Structure 1
């Protein structure tokens, strides 16, 4: 599935829509160059899941857990990871393993920015969300299901 998103707000709105098909144990790998909208997509997903607090890029802390806010309709925690800085270490996959993401994966929705090639081993099933930014500042989002029932969920729910 591929869509053109004209603005950053549309990127967030798409994330909200995507959140409707998410469930505990889901792994989302957000890929794309700097400025493509990965964090905006994560913000939309967080809003759609009804998590507490602002969703900001966890670049310097690597991972942030956002608890559900029942007042916003939230029922699932969201783990938001930014693996950008891990690409510059000697053993990036070892660094991802040290985050113990597999310990929270079953009970939450896990989003990993810059996770391509690093986190796929955490689950046999995941959704790749690729964002590209065009010269006119629109974004192209492509969803690629990897295993499980992802194809059915995104075709029926978006």
Structure 2
């Protein structure tokens, strides 16, 4: 169920929203990023990492599948996963041991819808799309405890 839809007109808007979200994340949070190639998933994750204050360069983990960014100011590490290459192969997702990562980190999974959502009943799907005018739209689909928390991160 989509609870909000907003526009992100520039990459800076996407990073800014990510910062807001990242500042609110805590250990055990699962965020799934959905959308086509070029929709802004990795840009959004850069903002999330900045909001968490984690260390390390944030880039798409497409070829390594997952990157761990050590805890920074917030005390919450970030695990950034790109499930695109898994092609829905749940055994490969299990090999990443993300359920253990959730015990000590916030986990952001690009292309994780339909696979990583089974890691927790509490997760937020952020659905990004890019319109013809290059403006991104962002839809919020909260699940479990995120239904109560999503209002804190929806841009006004």
CA deviation vs aligned residue, 1:34-53 (integer Å, no higher than 9, x gap) = 00000001000000000001
Alpha-carbon separation, structure 2, partners of 1:22 and 1:151: 14
Contact 2:128 2:138 (8 Å CA) reproduced:
yes
Q: Which residue of 2 aligns with 1:81?
A: 81
Alpha-carbon separation, structure 1, partners of 2:64 and 2:144: 30
What SS is found at the alignment partner of 2:149? Answer: helix
Contact 2:131 2:137 (8 Å CA) reproduced:
yes
Where structure 1 has 5 or more consecutive residues not aligned to the other structure, the ranges are none
Contact 1:31 1:113 (8 Å CA) reproduced:
yes
The structural deviation recorded for 1:8 is 1.1
Q: Is 1:21–2:17 an aligned residue pair?
A: no
Alpha-carbon separation, structure 2, partners of 1:66 and 1:86: 21
Where structure 2 has 5 or more consecutive residues not aligned to the other structure, the ranges are none
Q: Which residue of 1 aligns with 2:107?
A: 110
Q: Which residue of 2 aligns with 1:156?
A: 152
Contact 1:38 1:113 (8 Å CA) reproduced:
yes
Q: Is 1:147–2:150 an aligned residue pair?
A: no
Alignment size in residue pairs: 151
TM-score after normalising by structure 2? 0.93
Question: Runs of 4 or more off by more than 2 Å in structure 1?
Answer: none
TM-score after normalising by structure 1? 0.92
Name which of 73, 91, 94 aligns with 2:91. 94
